[in-house]
Amino acid sequence: MTKIPHATIRPLKTLNLLSQEEIRRISNPSEALHRLFRDCALAILNTDSHQDDAEKIFHAFADFDIKLVPQSRGIVLEISNAPAQSFVDDNIILGIQAHLSSALRDIIYTDFKILAQHTSPTSAEITDSVFMILRNADAIRPNMTPNLVVCWGGHAIPREEYDYAKQVGYQLGLRNLDIITGCGIGAMKGPMKGAAVGHAKQQYKSGRYIGISEPGIIAAESPNAIVNELVIMPDIEKRLEAFVRLGHSFIVFPGGVGTVEEIFYLLSILLHPNNKQKIPLIFAGPEICRDYFTTLDTFLRRCLGDEIAELYQIIIGEPETVGRLVRDSLEDVRQNRRQAQDAYYFNWQLHIDPMLQHPFIPTHENMAALRLHRDMPRHELASHLRAAFSGIVAGNVKAFGIREVAKHGPYVINGEPELLNAIDELLRIFVREKRMKLGQDESVYKPCYKLLDD
């Protein structure tokens, strides 16, 4: 892989103003904060690479480093052995420079201002933390009517699915709607790229393409080139909460286990008895994905009952219909927020169960402790299913999970046989449709989990 041996760049905006302690900790190789920033920076500099294996990226660029150097006019970032695709004629691409600045901003703010305040935060304090990180990143915009559409879906998808996501994004852009995604490629890039064209046709010059990531996943899903607002949350739970607090409507395109995790997260919130408001949720894909959504709908009904289908719409094809329905749903959101006297820019009144807020660490012990039984309250079952799929995502794509499985063997998941059979059938379909990462040997899938009946 081609590397740039040495480069220096200046961070953008106000990041020249850092304290000596901030500079010391983020530049000291022995500090965890330095390793965190280094890994996120490498992922950002790896933008547009076809490599989505975090371990392979870290191995290929083991000699990469980045540190802050104080100067009379502020600081510079000194970079060693960076991926060459982020440079043009030895100059870093401006969008990459902005993303590096965003990562530095979020990591420093989170560590010094958020994590330092609370060792055992309450639910309300976690929500406040999510708000403050988003506000510090200038993602909170008052005096704007609801127009943020969250798009979820797989990052490794066939061309026809990508083109469809782009067509839907185009219809959203024609209606001056902005996009939030997990910031990667595939079904995350497609809606942004389509919306950018729609915005251009409408001469809508303030288009927002918000990418929300977190350190554990960013190496596998580097920010795509359309993202113009990158926010790095400290963990997956705050990332997911940022989606639902910031977004006004949701579209789910076909994806794998990560997409199912996101679906269960949102459904758990919608099922909670303390939440009476509706969040518009559409499952959408091209005609070739009709069977995918039939399978997904059947799976959700098997897990959570037939009534769960009342919380979402499935639309096959018809991107214009998707755009129109989203636009109409946002008017309902505006009226409901106004009647409830809730902010347009942050969904304060949404109740999120603490299990969805506190980080789920995918250790073997935590995975084995999950309860998967259909006699549980449905919102609790959805939360446990979310955690189970989060662990499977970790075992497939996150450096920590991959190392855990390599060291201790597959995760063990316990539960009711019917539920476990439903999970197993869905995952085998994902493998067959190549929606699951297969690892070193692409011809054989080695599950990172084992399902055991209680």
Parse the chain into domains and list their residue ranges: 3-116, 129-340, 357-453
Cross-strand bridge partners of residue 6 = 80
Contact 82, 7 (CB under 8 A): yes
**129-340 and 3-116 share a CATH fold:** no
Phi and psi, residue 149, nearest 5°: -110, 120
pLDDT at 435: 87
Listed as ranges, residues in the chain with pLDDT below 70 are 1, 13-17, 48-55, 437-445, 454
pLDDT in tens, 10-26: 877 656 568 888 888 98
Record the pTM.
Answer: 0.92
Average pLDDT, the chain: 90
- Nearest in space to 147 (alpha carbons), one of 349, 351, 328: 328
The interaxial angle of helices 290-304 and 378-397, nearest 10 deg, is 130
Eight-state DSSP code of residue 115: I
Fold of 3-116: MCP/YpsA-like (3.30.1850)
The Cα 450–Cα 409 span in angstroms is 9
pLDDT at 85: 87
The correct CATH number of 129-340 out of 3.40.50.1000, 3.30.200.20, 1.10.287.130, 3.40.50.450 is 3.40.50.450
pLDDT at 54: 65
Cross-strand bridge partners of residue 316 = 285
Q: Which uninterrupted H or E stretch holds 32?
A: helix 32-45
pLDDT in tens, 92-142: 999 999 999 999 999 999 998 888 777 789 999 999 999 999 999 999 998
User: Collapsing DSSP states into helix, strand and coil, what is residue 377?
Assistant: coil
Number of C-alpha atoms within 13 angstroms, CB side, residue 372? 26
